[in-house]
Structures are given as C-alpha cells and as structure tokens.
C-alpha cells in the first residue's frame, strides 16, 4: 500500500525532504509516493498546495502526509485544511531553544539554503573547480589538495570528489591508478610527497564490471577478469603503501565522504 | 556570545546537520560553533562523544546543544550524561506516523544516506558523467539533456549542473555563451531544437568581475566593462529568445536548482 507524502516549504524544501526521507526510511513496510512543493510563500500558493493535497486525498482515499518547514502559521493553517497529517519539522525544537538561548526565534527562517555568504560560496566553487581540474591524474599539482583519492577507473572517485567540494569546500584531487602503477605495484613519483593525504576507493569486481559494461560494452576493460586483476593489484598496492581505503559497493556517496572525513579528522560542516 | 553545537548521528550526520542548520539559522543573534560527530554507533563511541561534549561544557561554561539522530536510546542516554541540551530530531514524528501508518518503526534507521539502491546510484553517476562531458559547449549532443543552462562564463552553470546531477539524477548540460553569440544576439544552431529546455543564469556585473578577477587577475576578461557588456548582451539574447532566467548573485546553488526544477515542473525528489 502506497502513501502519498508532500514535502512543503517556503524555500527550497531540502530540509523538509532530508528529514522526511530519514523518518520515512524507518517505516520499511510502507511504500511512499513523494512530492516536493517548494517556495510556498504566500496564501495563494498555500491554497494551491492545499487543493492539490486534498485532490490526492480524494483520489487515493488515503490521508496524505505533509512534512512541513513553512514558518508562517497562516500558511500552515491553509495547508492543514487539506486534511493531511501535518508533521511540522521545526515546531518541536524552537521552544526548547528559545528557553536555552534566552532569545526569540527571529523572522529569518529557511535561510540555511537561501541567501548566500559570498566567502562560503567561493570556497565551494573553488573546491569544485579544483576537483574538476584535478580529476584525470594527468599533469596536476597536488600541493593544494586537502586529500587525494586513488583507485581503479570507475571506483567512484570523481562523484565523491565533486560531492566533497560542493558541500564541504574540500579540495579533493583524484588519481586513477594506471596499468603501469598496478603492474609495478608502485605509486607514481609525484604522489609520494602527499602520501598522508591519500585515500583508496575499492569496489567489488562484479559491480565494477557491471558499471564498466554500461560505459564500454563488450570491452576488455569491462571483463570480470580485468576488473578482478585491477582490483586485486590496487588492494595490494594500498596495503603495501598503508593507504586507508573503503569498499564503495554498498555505500552512498554521502557515506563515503563522511567516512573519509572521519579518517582524516576533517570536521568541516556543510554549507 | 558563541554557543557550541554538536550534530551527532549513528550514520553520516547529514540529516542532523541539515535540520540543525535550519533551526539555528532562526536564531540570528547567536553565533554557533558547530561540530559533526558521525558514526556514533556503539557505547564506546557514545562515551567518547559524551566526554568531548562535557569537556567543552567545562571549557566554555556554556551548556552545549546536541542535535541528535541516533536511533538507539541507550546511546542517547549515554550522550545525555554530558549535560547538554538534547534535541532529538526523530522523536516527535515517530509516534504520529506509527499511528497514521498502523505500523511500528522498524530497526533500519538512517538508511536514507546509507545503503545504496544500485539503480538510483547509477542514475546519479550517469547524470554526473553527463554533466561533466557536456560542460564546455564544444561538440556535444543535447538530445539526452533534461535541461541546458546558458550564460556567460562564471555565472554558476557548472556547479549548478553538477549539483542537479549528484542529487537528483537530472542530466543537465551547459552552454557558455561565446563572444560571437553575444555579438550576433543569436543562439547557436545546435541549441535551437532544444529551446524549450534552455534556462539562463545571470549575475550582477560587480560580482562577476570579482569572481573572474580571482580566476584571471588583471585580465580583460575580468574588467567591469567586459562583464557589463557580456551580461547586457546575454540578457538581451535571453529576452529575445524568451529563455527563462535567474540572477544568481544572492542565491545558493540549492536554491538555483530548486527554482529551475520549479520552472520546468520537475518534481524529482533527492537521492
């Protein structure tokens, strides 16, 4: 049985969606049909949202669930006329914080994903540019790198570097191990000065073959034998050089990034 | 007066941090010193966390604030011995949902950023690869693009495309308007079949000059005159071709992405 969920916000809806997904994931037996309603910031939009939720209620015969981060009580009340189960994300925490901080909540809500702090923006853009220009392992200077991911082709290095840059402003380079490195079981000379910033990504051979097959069907590159050989050599090299590593097969990009930060003691918080 | 905040989680801590930042942003008068404590999933780690929080309490003389998404009550109780103000992110919502869904919360918590659904993972990786290979406007095929961002160099196209790909699996290409396009006030021929998928990014000239100066100091490219000319022409072109657009100067990447999705009626939810 599927239940409809609306993430509703006067801003991007990212907070509503993030906490909503975390809560819903705790109810494994139920399937959810999820919708995002961002930028609901006036009565007209709230009425349109309420109508849409009510219509859904009528169509499915099931009460929809609304995960709400709108600040304005008037707008919440309008949406509540839809008859949905309203889960207000902020309400339970504002009271205790007002007491603790001895201050009233100010008008400026949902600013965390809104107005931009130029310095932070620049940090994430610069880190993203760094990741983009240090993505191929060819002719790059690693002196500025916060960390350097190493691994065979398609082990998840690029998306992880981009994620760390976009969200944490961490300048991460990545170096794809070549057949030559894997044959010799040696790190290239120019990586050696930065050995304490290296982190290895590995992956199961079957999964790697599947990803590579999508990329280059029927190639030697995608055969299970080639994948097995590359990964076995890469793991040998990482052990020999004492490079910390993580198998990414069953791990999300977010979790890979968090594990890497934990290993390096990086406590930077998100933008 | 600065208050210390710990985001504590048995997983990545992303949910704790996202909602925590949203709540704290509502108390503008207070400065927060934020720390992330991810992967606190056994008693030993919880005790270490509690000690760290308690030490901070003693050092600052201010009661720390803990934003918590750990599921295990035993671990929460250990952390609570630190004397911090505990804000439990999930607690207020589980009860109402159990009643609504007629089901008990299952053990699997914090899975939203954890174990991976291969299809979703593939969608975000494929979209990221698409964004990377369709980033320069040179010799690319736009047939597969969900949408195409246009704008002058450094108006925010690349990070926005990467963000949409990584988080929503949206395949977004980007086309940097050339001096030739801006002179002629014409879209290049190969963009024309995809006019209904175009979205323009603009930016204030002062801000653009500042960003470009960082990139190429003392270049013609970074002069305010050049930036003014390019932006004026780009805006003319977007008006003439009826391309929807957004000024990104005071807007975060998250908000740019949400606004674009709203414009195109894309309701895809996050991974």
Beta bridge pairs of residue A151:
A176
* Residue A266: pLDDT over 90: no
Contact (CB<8Å) A87/B97: yes
- Which pLDDT does position B119 carry in this prediction? 78
Q: Tell me if B2-101 shares its fold with B118-264.
A: yes
Q: Point out the least confidently predicted range of A89-98, A116-125, B122-131, B213-222.
A: A116-125
More confident site: A170 or B139? A170
More confident site: B271 or B244? B244
Q: B122: which chain A residues are within 8 Å (Cβ-Cβ)?
A: 211, 214
Per-residue pLDDT tens for B68-86?
Answer: 999 889 999 999 999 999 9
Mean pLDDT over all residues of chain B? 91
Which band of pLDDT confidence, cut at 50, 70 and 90, is reported for residue B267? Answer: confident
Beta bridge pairs of residue B66:
B6, B86
- Which pLDDT does position A114 carry in this prediction? 46
Interface test with B, best of A1, A2, A18 (most B CBs within 10 A): A18
Residue in chain B nearest A114 by alpha carbon = B252
Q: A114: which chain B residues are within 8 Å (Cβ-Cβ)?
A: 251-252, 255
- Which pLDDT does position A108 carry in this prediction? 54
Say how many residues make up chain B: 271
Which band of pLDDT confidence, cut at 50, 70 and 90, is reported for residue B137? Answer: confident
CA B5, B10, B16 angle in degrees (round to 5)? 40
Please indicate if the annotation marks B236 as binding a ligand: no
Contact (CB<8Å) B103/A30: yes
Instruction: List the binding residues of A for ADP.
Output: 151-158
Please indicate if the annotation marks B151 as binding a ligand: yes
- Average pLDDT over every residue of B126-146: 86
> Counting beta carbons within 10 angstroms of the beta carbon of residue B168, is it exposed (0 to 12), middle (13 to 18) or buried (19 or more)?
buried
- Average pLDDT over every residue of A62-66: 97
- Average pLDDT over every residue of A211-230: 94
- Which pLDDT does position A1 carry in this prediction? 72
Contact (CB<8Å) A22/B7: no
Which band of pLDDT confidence, cut at 50, 70 and 90, is reported for residue B32? Answer: very high
Q: Domain B2-101 maps to which CATH number in 1.10.3470, 2.40.128, 3.30.530, 3.40.50?
A: 3.40.50
Q: A63: which chain B residues are within 8 Å (Cβ-Cβ)?
A: 100
Please state, for a pLDDT cut of 90, what percent of chain A lies above it. Answer: 73
CA distance B210 to B208: 5
User: Residues A268, A257: contact at Cβ < 8 Å?
Assistant: no
- Which pLDDT does position B114 carry in this prediction? 46
Please indicate if the annotation marks B109 as binding a ligand: no
- Average pLDDT over every residue of A145-160: 95
Contact (CB<8Å) A18/B163: no
Please state, for a pLDDT cut of 70, what percent of chain B lies above it. Answer: 95
Q: B18: which chain A residues are within 8 Å (Cβ-Cβ)?
A: 14-15, 18-19, 112, 270
ipTM value for the complex: 0.82
- Average pLDDT over every residue of A64-85: 95
Q: Point out the least confidently predicted range of A3-7, A35-39, A119-123, A198-202.
A: A119-123
- Which pLDDT does position B28 carry in this prediction? 86
Q: B19: which chain A residues are within 8 Å (Cβ-Cβ)?
A: 15, 18-19, 89
Secondary structure in 3-state letters for chain A: CEEEEEEECCCCCHHHHHHHHHHHCCCCCCEEEEEEECCCCCHHHHHHHHHHHHHHHHHHCCCCEEEECCCCHHHHHHHHCCCCEEEECCHHHHHHHHHHHCCCCCCCCCCCCCCCCHHHHHHHHHHHHHHHHCCCCCCCCCCCCCEEEEECCCCCHHHHHHHHHHHHCCCEEEEECCHHHHHHCCCCHHHHHHHHHEEEEECCHHHHHHHHHHHCCCCHHHCHHHHHHHHHHHHHHHHHCCCCEEECCCCCHHHHHHHHHHHHCCCCCCC
- Which pLDDT does position B105 carry in this prediction? 86
CA distance A136 to A141: 12
Mean pLDDT over all residues of chain A? 91
* Residue A267: pLDDT over 70: yes
- Which pLDDT does position A120 carry in this prediction? 78
* Residue B107: pLDDT over 70: no
Nearest to B25 among A111, A125, A158 (CB): A111
Per-residue pLDDT tens for B148-201?
Answer: 999 999 999 999 999 999 989 999 999 999 999 999 999 999 899 999 999 999
- Which pLDDT does position A242 carry in this prediction? 96
Instruction: List the binding residues of A.
Output: 151-158
Contact (CB<8Å) A23/B93: yes
CATH architecture observed for domain A118-264: 3-Layer(aba) Sandwich (3.40)
CA distance B14 to B18: 6
Calculate how close chain A gets to B116, using CA atoms only, in Å: 5
Closest CA to A163 of B255, B125, B39: B125
Calculate how close chain A gets to B271, using CA atoms only, in Å: 9
Calculate how close chain B gets to A4, using CA atoms only, in Å: 11
Interface test with A, best of B93, B119, B160 (most A CBs within 10 A): B93
- Which pLDDT does position B83 carry in this prediction? 97
- Average pLDDT over every residue of A111-121: 62
- Average pLDDT over every residue of A159-169: 93
Enumerate the domain spans of chain A.
2-101, 118-264
Contact (CB<8Å) B22/A252: no
Interface test with B, best of A70, A254, A267, A271 (most B CBs within 10 A): A254
């Amino acid at each position: 049985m599927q239940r409809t969920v609306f993430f509703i916000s006067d801003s991007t809806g990212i907070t509503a969606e993030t906490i909503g997904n975390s809560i819903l994931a705790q109810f494994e037996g139920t399937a959810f049909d999820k919708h995002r309603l961002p930028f609901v910031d006036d009565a007209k939009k709230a009425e349109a949202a309420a109508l849409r939720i009510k219509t859904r209620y009528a169509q499915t015969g099931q009460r929809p669930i609304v995960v709400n981060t709108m600040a304005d009580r008037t707008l919440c009340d309008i949406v509540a006329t839809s008859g949905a189960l309203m889960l207000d994300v902020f309400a339970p925490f504002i009271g205790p914080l007002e007491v603790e901080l001895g201050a009233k909540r100010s008008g400026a809500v949902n600013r965390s994903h809104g107005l931009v702090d130029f310095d932070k923006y620049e940090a994430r853009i610069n880190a993203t540019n760094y990741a983009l220009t240090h993505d191929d392992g060819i002719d790059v200077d690693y002196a500025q790198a916060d960390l350097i991911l190493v691994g065979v082709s398609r082990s998840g290095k690029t998306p992880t570097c981009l994620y760390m840059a976009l969200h944490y402003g961490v300048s991460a380079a990545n170096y794809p191990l070549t057949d030559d490195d894997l044959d010799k079981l040696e790190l290239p000379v120019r990586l050696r000065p930065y050995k304490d910033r290296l982190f290895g990504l590995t992956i199961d051979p079957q999964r790697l073959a599947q990803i590579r097959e999508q990329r280059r069907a029927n190639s030697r590159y995608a055969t299970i034998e080639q994948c097995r050989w590359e990964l076995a050599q890469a793991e040998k090299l990482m052990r020999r050089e004492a490079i910390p590593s993580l198998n990414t097969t069953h791990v999300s990009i977010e979790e890979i990034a968090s594990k890497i930060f934990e290993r390096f003691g990086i406590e930077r918080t998100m933008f």
